[in-house]
Structure formats: structure tokens, C-alpha cells
Amino acid sequence: MREYLLTLCITAAVTYLLTGPVRKFAIVAGAMPEIRARDVHREPTPRLGGIAMFFGLCAGLLVASHLTNLDQVFEDSNEARALLSGAALIWLLGVLDDKFEIDALIKLGAQVIAAGVMILQGLTILWLPIPGVGTVAVTPWQGNLLTVALVVITINAVNFVDGLDGLAAGMVCIAATAFFLYSYRIWYGYGAEAAAPATLFSALLIGMCLGFLPHNLHPARIFMGDSGSMLIGLVLAASAVSVTGQLDVEALNVDLGGTREATHAMVPVFIPLIMPLTIIALPMADLVLAIVRRTWRGQSPFAADRGHLHHRLLEIGHSHSRAVLIMYFWSALIAFGALAYSVNSASMWIVLGVVFLSAIGLVLLLLPRFTPRTPRWMEAFVPPRYRRARRRAADASRQAPATADAGPADAAEQPGTRTPVAAGVSGVNGATAVGPRAHMADRRRAGSSR
């Protein structure tokens, strides 16, 4: 564990220290696109944060290759080299896209090529452990197609969710932490050496995300861009392919008594490709909903819009930071709920705990729709948005535009409505709308004239 933590810290430190210089380089290079209609930030922000993340990955792999207990990952298999090759290709594509905006179909083709490069070097699905059946071998073509599909889907799922400051890095960090605990348990708990590469990949991914997050939290000073989102998506997919399709369940027979018993003991982990998908459940749901939504409208599935889950959270009233924290909460609930279930699948307390936390998550989702009535004696102890005077002012500001558009005659029918004079809003007849004081002065003048 200490060597994994050392590798994680080195990766995080290198990523963190390089992000500042990379930000300056991105500004000089002009990798600061104009704000688009779907963006939620208010000023141009440099991208290319994936450069720092990639060099953090390289530093972590270099350190791990010289550690006593981790060098066997490089000696016994070619998976680490396969990961680095695929990551370098997808990272280079992302850098070009951050600068020149490459077409979506070209990016999709490059993602398939990156997956093919990893397959050629041995990082592919060889068999699928199915509960109740045992290990089912797949043909090379079947394994290659499953690998390509998993890599491409994971990359695009992470890329789609990268829409708010710190969202993608935080969610992938949560997923990588859960996956690290899965694979570490298989590696040291059951003595399955085939899980060692996935454990290393997960540790590296945690370090990349933790090193970049301080620069990317709201308000973000730099974005990871496609060079970062596609990179961390590929590393997460490589971890999933390694632990799901490379580990032979029959190797656990000595400890568990048979293939069927071993498979049942690892049900949450080894259901074919389900465990990797639970780790990215929210990004995957966002991806599927985006494809269905855009296809239903007659648009390309790669056409950008503001219909993602995080955009919907902002629309119903959540702040930027709270929307990100809610997405973190649901990601952690799904990932660590599956982790707890894999440790003890017979415990009802785990199921009840997940249900209880899900109920809390639903309350958090609907929080902007609730306007609590705070007693006056408690107003000094609650945030300003829950104080009555603050709410009355907000209600008046919402009604002001309607009154301003109504003109003087309609405004006279609503004497309690406040209308901003300084804004210079004119009514239908060209007269400037006035506030309550001017309205009362007019009534006094009218009375005296009678």
C-alpha cells in the first residue's frame, strides 16, 4: 500500500506543479476559446490542462517502474506500456482539439485507434466471469470489440460530463478511488496478481485528478479540455478492462473452493462489464440521455447543447458549487455502494443504507424548490437567502419587469409594486414608470385639484 500511495503522491505533485506553467502556456498559445451558448463560465478560460495530467501520469509510471513491489507489473505484463501508448495518442488528439476544434467523427475514429493500440499490446478482454457459470472465454474478435466499445463509451461519458468546474475531475477521482479499493482487495486479499496493473492504473488516476482539482475548482483558473477528459476516461477504461477481462477466476479456486464459488464471491466485481459501468453510472446515464435527446430532435449525437444533468441542476436553482457537490454525492453513493456490496453481499444493512442515502440525495436535488419559513428570532443564525426581508426584496425584483412593461395606467392599479426608475424603463405611452412614492404624490396632487 505504501508504494501505491507514493506513486499516487508523485503523480499528484507533478500534475499540480505543472498546471500553473501549463495555464500560462495555454494563454500564450491562444487556447482560450470564446464563450459558447452552452458554457456556464462568464469569461474565457484557458484549456490544455490535460498536458499537466499526462506528464503526471508519465512521472507516476516512471516512479512505479523503479519500486520493488510494483516493478513486476512492468516485467510480467505489457499492460503498462499499452496504457502509455494509448494515453499518448488520445492525449495528442485532445491537445489538437483544444487548440483547433477537431471534428467529432475524427475524434471518434482516433479513440477507436487508441483502443486498438492497447489491444495490439495485450490490454484486451480475454474472458468474462459470469456468476453461476464460471469463466467464459471469448473469441479474439469478441474480446477486441468489447474492449473498443468499453474504451470509447467511457471516454465519451467522461467527456460529456465535463461541463462544470471540477466536475469531471472530482467524479473520476471518486470512481478511481472505488476501483482502487476493488482491485487492491482482489490483488492482496485473494492473491490474484493479474489485478496488480488495474490497482496501479487506479492509483495513477487518483493522483492525476487530485493534482488538477485545486486549479479546476469553481471558479476554475484552467480547464482540462479534451486533452484531459479523454485521457482520464481512457485510463479509467484501461483499469476496467484489466481487472474485468484479464483476471482468471479459476486462479481463486485454492482460496474459495471452486470456480462457481469464486465467481459468486466476486459477483459485484465480475458481472461482465457491469462493475466498470457502475463506476461511471452518472456519466453513462448522461451520455445515453444526450444521444436520445439529440437524435429525437433530428440533431447529430455529437451536437452540443445545454441538456446535460449538470445543466438541469443549474436550471432548477442550484448554485454552481452545489450542483457539483450533488453530482459528487450520487457518484460516491453508486460507486461505494457497489464496493460495500462486493465485500458483503448478504448484508441487508448495506441495501438499507444505500436506500436511505438515496432518499437524502433526492431531497438535495429538490432543495431549491423548498422555501423554508424562518422564524424572526432565527434570522440572525441562517444564511441571508432564508431571511424574510431578503425574500420579499427578491419577490419585488421579479415583479418589477412586469410592472415596467404595463405602462402608467396599469402601474396605477398596482400601487404596491416597485419599479426601478434608475433603469429608465418606459411604459407603453412613453412615460417613465415610477415607484410607490411618486405614485402617492400624484394621488395627493389629484386630490388637491378637486
Cell digits of residue 444:
395627493
Give the number of other Cβ atoms within 10 Å of residue 367's Cβ.
14
- By the 8 A CB rule, do 256 and 128 touch? no
Does 165 or 297 have the greater pLDDT score?
165
pLDDT of residue 423: 40
- What pLDDT score was predicted for residue 82? 93
What pLDDT does 317 receive? 67
Enclosing H/E stretch for 135: strand 134-137
Which secondary structure element, helix H or strand E, spans residue 130, and what is its range?
Answer: strand 127-130
DSSP single-letter state for residue 377: G
Mean pLDDT of the chain: 75
- Euclidean distance between CA atoms 286 and 107, whole angstroms: 19
- Asked if residue 186 has pLDDT above 60, the reply is yes
First to last CA, the chain: 92
Give the mean model confidence (pLDDT) for residues 258-283. Answer: 53
SS3 state at 209? helix
Distance (Å, rounded) from C-alpha 49 to C-alpha 28?
Answer: 14
Q: Is the pLDDT of residue 20 over 90?
A: yes
Helix axes 167-184, 140-161, angle to 10 degrees: 140
Burial (CB < 10 A; 0-12, 13-18, 19+), residue 254, is exposed
User: What is the structure's pLDDT at 160?
Assistant: 78
Q: What is the pTM of this model?
A: 0.72
Q: Looking at residue 272, what is its pLDDT?
A: 38
Ranking 61-70, 219-228, 418-427 by mean pLDDT, the lowest is 418-427
pLDDT (average), residues 270-298: 65
425 or 281, higher pLDDT? 281
Q: What angle do CA 147, 151, 154 make, to 5 degrees?
A: 135
Higher pLDDT: 243 or 396? It is 243
Phi, psi of 330 (to 5 degrees): -65, -35
User: Which set of grid coordinates corresponds to residue 13?
Assistant: 505533485
For the chain, give every domain's residue range: 2-34+42-300, 398-449
pLDDT single digits (tens) 389-414: 555 555 556 555 544 444 444 433 33
> What pLDDT, in 10s, does the model give residues 419-428?
343 443 333 3
